[in-house]
Amino acid sequence: MRLFRHELKGELLLYTRSRELAFFTFLLPMIFFLLLASVYGNDRIKSEGNVRSAPFLEAGMIGYGAISIAFAGLAIVLVIRRESGILKRLRATPLPAPVYVSALLSAFLAAFAVEVVGLLAIGRAFFSVALPHHAFSLVLALLLGAISFCGLGIGLSALIKSAEGASAVVNAIYLPSAFISGSFFSPHSYPGFLRAIADVLPLTYFLRLVRNVMLHGHEIWSQGTNVAILAAWGVAGVIVAVRSFRWEPTEG
């Protein structure tokens, strides 16, 4: 426990020192929320039961924040640490691997928690979005989503071979994924082939889950399908991670 706390403190320090993480994965969802909600926050979305855009976008940016922090940010950090040899160096210390991994994940979950609080505060202050009613369901939903995206992030990091390629590969996956799953727009207005892709993406189910809880007053236990598919993706990521995770840089 002492080791966990020590490593978590270190990871949080590292997180706040990284300008790339701070901007691209942490600030960007809030900036997009501010921009987009300023432009059409008061419009009504017919295909989404006539909800106002601002709360719809707020939930969308929570999903975008989850995929960019827990998935993209974590995957890039892990590839860079592995390829630069930091993971190899850590292996030589008495820090046990499970303690390291859980502290690393906790730091990213903490960053996501701050992100959500930030988005809720922006929504409340500038776009008169009410705070969610089912706070407990929302916390569970966010935790499930963040952990699943962490699992996928670790899994993806194991498949990327070089630090140079990390950002490119990760961006090519999570940015289109955020668009297609409906972080920014209602996916109901998409052409059929995009909706077909959206139907397999984990973010789609996370967004449905979060919007059902935040906008439509559902509790998480009424959301079996969304929860199951999201969790299945997370488990798939963990399986890939366990099978092909490496501590050492890719050779030549």
Partner 1 sequence: MSAISVRGLRKSYGALEAVRGVDFDVERGEVFGLLGPNGAGKTTTVEILEGYRKRDGGSVEVLGTDPALAGSGWREQIGVVLQSSAMYETLTTAESLRLFAGYYSSPRPVDDVVELIGLRDQRDQVVRRLSGGQRRRLDLGLALVGDPELIFLDEPTTGFDPHARRQAWETLRSLRGLGKTIVLTTHYLDEAERLADRVAVLRRGEVVAVGPPADLIGAAPATEIRYRENGREVVLETDSPTRVLHELTAKAIAENRELEGLVVRRPSLEEVYLTLTEEQPE
Distance of closest approach, residue 76 Cβ to partner 1, in angstroms: 14
Residue 100 or residue 127: which is nearer to partner 1 going by CB? 100
Residue 3 or residue 196: which is nearer to partner 1 going by CB? 3
Structure tokens at 83: 């390829």
The one-letter code for the residue type at 42 is N
What own/partner pairs with CB < 8 Å and gap ≥ 24 does 121-128 have?
Answer: 122/30, 122/33, 122/34, 122/58, 123/33, 123/37, 123/54, 123/55, 123/58, 126/34, 126/37, 126/38, 127/37, 127/41, 127/54, 127/55, 127/58, 128/54
Q: Are residues 119 and 76 in contact, defined by beta-carbon separation less than 8 angstroms? A: no
The yes or no reply on residue 194 touching partner 1 (CB under 8 A) is no
Binding mask 62-101 for partner 1 (x = CB under 8 A): -------------------x--xxx-xx-xxxxxx-----
Structure tokens at 175: 């940015």
The yes or no reply on residue 6 touching partner 1 (CB under 8 A) is yes
The yes or no reply on residue 50 touching partner 1 (CB under 8 A) is no
The yes or no reply on residue 162 touching partner 1 (CB under 8 A) is no
Binding mask 7-46 for partner 1 (x = CB under 8 A): x--x--xx--xx----------------------------
Kindly determine how many residues on this chain lie close enough to bind partner 1 according to the rule CB under 8 A: 22
Query: Chain centroid to CA 193: how far?
Result: 24
The yes or no reply on residue 250 touching partner 1 (CB under 8 A) is no
Determine which helix (DSSP H) or strand (DSSP E) holds 61, and give its type and residue range: helix 53-66
**Which residue of 3, 27, 130, 159 would you call a contact of partner 1, by CB under 8 A?**
3
The yes or no reply on residue 231 touching partner 1 (CB under 8 A) is no
Distance of closest approach, residue 127 Cβ to partner 1, in angstroms: 34
Q: Which residues contact 20 (CB under 8 A, 6 or more apart)?
A: 76
Contact residues for partner 1, defined by CB under 8 A: 3, 6-7, 10, 13-14, 17-18, 81, 84-86, 88-89, 91-96, 248-249
